[in-house]
Amino acid sequence: MTLLLFLILAFSLFNLGIVLWVIYEHFFNTDIPAAIGHTIKLRTLHCLFLLVIIWAKICEKLRICSEMTFIRFVLLSVPVKMDPKLVVKDLCIGSVPVRLYQPKATSASLRKGMIFIHGGGMLIGSLDTYNSLCCFLARETNSVVLSIGYRLAPEHRHPSALNDCMAASVHFLRNLETYGVDPLCVTICGDSAGATIVASVCQILVTKPDLPKIRAQILIYPLIQMVNFHLPSYEYYKNTLFLTKRVCLTCVFHCFDIDFFWKTAVLNGAHLPPEMRDEYEERMDVHNIPERFRKKDYKPKSPGPFNESAYLETKQLFWAMNSPLFADKDIIAQLPETLLISCEFDVLRDDTMLYKKILEEQGVPAHWHHIEDGFHGVLSTFDKKVFAFPCALKILNIIVDFIKNL
């Protein structure tokens, strides 16, 4: 009995320590913007998020499982609900798992098609975690939706995710008739890291004239460049909940197998070669961001002294397949009509506006919607009932209206 009581006391104290850590991180190290509203809901959701993170770290330290495995397990614990108005099939394209959503109602003509690539920093996310979202898009737009379950880092480093998405996308485009899809009405959509892959896939597809052309691309708070982490949004919201600057860098380094030793060099811009600085700084000029998003006290940070070793270790971050903002202009000019959605309280906010600028300069129709009370990842809350935020449904309605009007 004494041993049992001791274990119960020790476990209680351990859990108390975890709760105190969560409270400390939430109230002292995280910015909670009042403009988002729904304060109690937001604080509760963020504390739960931190609780999952710390238990994931504990499991990794105890060698029970990796941090990512624990987080994925928690995400997959949410039940998957299918829509009675849809036919949903789990398939494999080669070794790539995909999920196909088709409306049950008969159609006199070919339907619109959508390729969906999920977010999650290329570390988490799955066909199941985005199932409700894909059901909504298929049902509300009367489209055939193909959701791609690409391989995740750190087990599978980039470009594994891009290769999987390219393989599935090419297969879908070559077999549109099989799926009852109009070859003139195929869109490709993604959020966060999924939107990064979407942008890269679109740039590759324009070089393949033997495939049907993508009608439109939809980028929801995308990471468009991995070179400058001192844009205004990175500075203003570096400690804002869910996707902080530190978390963003962690995702990038994990995906591209970059040692964290080079973190300071990347943050200082020391990995950017002198001969590339003019071209890259032109694309990332803060004056390409609307003035209302730049506070008067913001000062652009010049790159530090060039570090060749840092460049050699991180040079893949400059490649257009990873940072679509830096693609050749003749490639960008061929891109399809684009819907861009950004959220105010998001370190990636300015990436969207920089991409919008270069798309417009190259004559690509770009439709931009900015969610003033949005934060990174908010789209995933749309079906979470008590934890749903109104702006998540607003984003979905923007997407649905855009697709219907194509």
What are the catalytic residues? 192, 346, 376
Q: Is the separation of the CB atoms in 324 and 200 below 8 Å?
A: yes
Whole-angstrom Cα distance, residue 348 to residue 366? 18
Whole-angstrom Cα distance, residue 124 to residue 126? 7
Whole-angstrom Cα distance, residue 14 to residue 326? 48
96 alpha-carbon distance from chain centroid:
19
Whole-angstrom Cα distance, residue 371 to residue 349? 10
Whole-angstrom Cα distance, residue 182 to residue 98? 20
Whole-angstrom Cα distance, residue 143 to residue 180? 10
How far, in Å, are 93, 129, 396 from residue 138 at the CA level? 20, 16, 12
Residue carrying the six token digits 């941090």: 67
Helix (H) or strand (E) holding 146: strand 143-148
Query: Which 3 state secondary structure label does DSSP give 64?
Result: coil
278 alpha-carbon distance from chain centroid:
28
For 310, other C-beta atoms within 10 Å of its C-beta total 22
Altogether, the residues listed in the chain come to a count of 406
Give the closest residue to 222 by CA, choosing from 247, 241, 248, 258: 248
Give me 290's structure tokens. Answer: 């609307």
Strands 111-117 and 143-148: parallel
